[in-house]
Amino acid sequence: MADLRINLAGITSPNPFWLASAPPTNTGYQVQRAFEAGWGGAVWKTLGDPIINTSSRFAAVHFNGQRVAGFNNIELISDRPLEVNLQEIYETKKRFPHHALVVSLMVEPKREKWHEIVKKVEAVGVDGLELNFGCPHGMAERGMGSASGQQPDLVEAQTMWAKEAAKTPVIVKLTPNITDITSTAKAAVRGGADAISLINTINSLAGVDIDTWNTIPHVGGKGSHGGYCGPAVKPIALHMVADCARNAEVGIPISGIGGISNWRDAVEFMLMGATGVQVCTAAMHHGFRIVEDMIDGLNNYLDEKGLASVMDLIGKSVPRYSDWGNLDLNYAVVAKIDNDTCINCNKCHIACEDTSHQCIDMLTSDTGESYLQVREEDCVGCNLCAIVCPVEGAITMVEVAGTEPPLTWNERQEAIAKLGEGNSNKKEAV
Ligand SMILES: Cc1cc2nc3c(=O)[nH]c(=O)nc-3n(C[C@H](O)[C@H](O)[C@H](O)COP(=O)(O)O)c2cc1C
């Protein structure tokens, strides 16, 4: 069996599955039960100055039969006294010395505040600190969370202040509520961060009750924006992780978070550069025991791939994630319909006819049976027919042997520019 241990900027854990800082890591009771269940690490629910949480604070988006496709919350950081949390952290670390215990912190953007909390938390024995610059609601109004996480200068300064006092590795947790995630990732690096983690939740309003006209959720008839997470946010998170991983100016380890529900999601994040993952919504939806399947699935996958260590996965797909300008414009695929498995539902025909390139014909055979056929010369290889097809494998996208050599848009522009130079030289010569 492969070695599942990871080392994230010096923080080691028996496997790459950590619980993210959130309700599942609110107390020692929970974190200890999670470690017993098999989680390799946990980031304790964010500590800071005590706050008051609202009653009614979660909402979910159930989509087309899937419960909790997305999850929304207006919860703030820990509402339990700091001293109680510290005592429980101490006890948890003592009981589980080999698990990764990281504590999430959020204080006002003041040097002395960061020094004070870092020292207090490290005194009880933790493996690392995570600075929460991501919470998009409640704390932001107080100049913390995403309010400071959206400003690279503040990310840099606060990371620096935490690092001045810290003896353990410092992970900076980034907010996705920003245009370019690498700007704050680079600020964290300038501040001396040992690693980054992303993403925190995305600004959202889960819905509006069309009978009462209240927001979902609402607190006594009033609502406010919350943070979105769960399976729906995974593509956004994966892109942001990949964007940081492929940026040489970031260059520090990444803890991947956002919509991770199973071992496959975890593998994707690791291939895109994450050294381990953190999970919140999936654990809230299904309980701590989901980690058993995650560990089994990952073990089997690594064995099948012949990999000795889970660390061998990290970043393997990063070189394959590039800018649009580096894609081969001469690469082509076309759709092929397998008429033996096709159920003639016509969804592909309708999708192609109404919203794509009108290249799936409805034909009738000599024996009078109707069937669908792609006019390959008109197919642009958009994938829409395969996406809407309800039968697995009935439509496949097949590579067309190209007659032209690979050519990217960037190469094309360069060639055109050179031609222009040549022409002007010619003109001068003339
Ligand atoms: C109810 C709730 C409370 C959260 N509280 C915190 C928090 O205190 N600190 C923090 O850094 N992130 C907090 N998060 C964000 C999660 O740690 C995580 O970044 C986010 O949920 C994305 O992961 P997921 O898609 O697996 O849920 C919270 C998330 C939820 C759903």
Cα 238-242-248 angle, rounded to 5 deg: 160
Q: What is the average per-residue pLDDT within 379-386?
A: 98
The token pair that represents 88 in the structure block: 């429980």
The answer to the question of residue 1 being in a domain is no
The CATH number for 278's domain is 3.20.20.70
Asked whether residue 314 falls in the same domain as residue 326, the answer is no
Q: How many residues are given for the chain?
A: 430
Asked whether residue 235 falls in the same domain as residue 352, the answer is no
CA-to-CA separations, 117 to 23, 120, 123, 157, 348, in angstroms, rounded:
21, 5, 10, 16, 58
| Contact status, residue 46 vs residue 264, Cβ threshold 8 Å | no
Query: What are the tens digits of pLDDT across the range 66-93?
Result: 999 999 999 999 999 999 999 999 999 9
Greater pLDDT, 420 or 380: 380
The answer to the question of residue 84 being in a domain is yes
Please choose from 17, 18, 19, 21 the residue to mutate so as to test ligand 1's pocket, defined by most ligand atoms within 8 A of CB: 21
- Beta partners for residue 171, in sequence order: 130, 195
Cα 176 to averaged position of ligand 1 atoms, centre (Å)? 12
Query: What are the tens digits of pLDDT across the range 395-425?
Result: 999 999 888 999 999 999 999 999 987 665 5
Asked whether residue 293 falls in the same domain as residue 368, the answer is no
Asked whether residue 310 falls in the same domain as residue 340, the answer is no
Number of domains in the chain: 2
Decide which of 301, 318, 335 is a domain's last residue: 318
Ligand 1 pocket, CB under 6 A: 20-23, 45-46, 58, 71, 73, 75, 77, 104, 132, 134-135, 173, 200-201, 229-230, 233, 257-260, 279-282
Q: What is the average per-residue pLDDT within 120-126?
A: 98
Inter-helix orientation angle 290-305/263-271, to 10°: 50
| Residue 425: per-residue pLDDT | 56
| Residue 424: per-residue pLDDT | 58
Asked whether residue 360 falls in the same domain as residue 426, the answer is yes
| Residue 429: per-residue pLDDT | 44
Pairing outcome for strands 128-132 and 100-105: parallel
Residue closest via CA to ligand 1's atom 15 equals 200
Q: Which domain holds residue 188?
A: 6-318
- pLDDT reading at 308 higher than 50: yes
Q: Which atom of ligand 1 lies closest to the CA of 72?
A: 31
Give me the torsion for CA of 392, 395, 399, 404, rounded to 10°: -150
Query: What are the tens digits of pLDDT across the range 183-240?
Result: 999 999 999 999 999 999 999 999 999 999 999 999 999 999 999 999 999 999 999 9
Cα 10 to averaged position of ligand 1 atoms, centre (Å)? 23
- pLDDT reading at 393 higher than 50: yes
Asked whether residue 225 falls in the same domain as residue 88, the answer is yes
| Contact status, residue 44 vs residue 85, Cβ threshold 8 Å | yes
| Residue carrying the six token digits 């690498």 | 182
Query: What are the tens digits of pLDDT across the range 132-187?
Result: 998 777 777 777 777 789 999 999 999 999 999 999 999 999 999 999 999 999 99
Mean pLDDT of the residues in the chain:
95
Asked whether residue 120 falls in the same domain as residue 207, the answer is yes
Decide which of 287, 318, 349 is a domain's last residue: 318
Q: Is the peptide bond before 217 cis (omega within 30 degrees of 0)?
A: yes
Under 8 Å CB-to-CB from 271, ≥6 apart: which residues? 313, 314, 315, 316, 317, 318
| Residue 147: per-residue pLDDT | 79
Greater pLDDT, 325 or 430: 325
Asked whether residue 407 falls in the same domain as residue 329, the answer is yes
Q: Is the peptide bond before 199 cis (omega within 30 degrees of 0)?
A: yes
Q: What is the average per-residue pLDDT within 274-301?
A: 98
Please choose from 78, 234, 280 the residue to mutate so as to test ligand 1's pocket, defined by most ligand atoms within 8 A of CB: 280
Asked whether residue 290 falls in the same domain as residue 254, the answer is yes
Residue 389 CA to residue 393 CA, distance in Å, equals 9
Measured from the Cβ of residue 135, the count of other Cβ atoms closer than 10 Å reads 27
Residues labelled as active-site residues: 135
| Residue 427: per-residue pLDDT | 46
The answer to the question of residue 185 being in a domain is yes
Inter-helix orientation angle 152-165/181-190, to 10°: 30
Asked whether residue 309 falls in the same domain as residue 347, the answer is no
Give me the torsion for CA of 75, 81, 85, 91, rounded to 10°: -150
Query: What are the tens digits of pLDDT across the range 94-119?
Result: 999 999 999 999 999 999 999 999 99
| pTM (2 d.p.) | 0.95
Pairing outcome for strands 370-374 and 360-364: antiparallel
The CATH number for 410's domain is 3.30.70.20
- Provide the pLDDT confidence category of residue 426 given band limits of 50, 70 and 90: low
